[in-house]
Amino acid sequence: MGNRPLDKLNNVLDESVLVRLKGSREFRGILQGYDVHMNLTLENAEELVDGVVTRQIGTVVVRGDNVVYVSP
């Protein structure tokens, strides 16, 4: 197992991930959960602009249709 994209997300639960969204927005946080639509829940999330933290958000739900990629 571990060959499907959602299996890869399962491997990084409770770990820090970088999420890039449409429009070049980026968030970094601890992946707490996801669903089949790639909706993501991040804790201790922070927004990044050009790799620099611009604001601390806390807990955020990211809608899956905006996700470009998730990187551990």
User: Residue 2 has what pLDDT?
Assistant: 56
pTM, full prediction: 0.89
CATH architecture of 5-71: Roll (2.30)
Average pLDDT across each block of 10 residues of the chain; the chain has 72 residues. List them in order: 78 96 95 95 96 95 96 92
Contacts for 21-29: CB closer than 8 Å, 24+ residues apart: 21/62, 21/66, 21/67, 21/68, 22/66, 22/68, 27/57, 27/60, 27/62, 28/53, 29/57, 29/60
Cα angle vertex 45, ends 62, 70, to 5°? 55
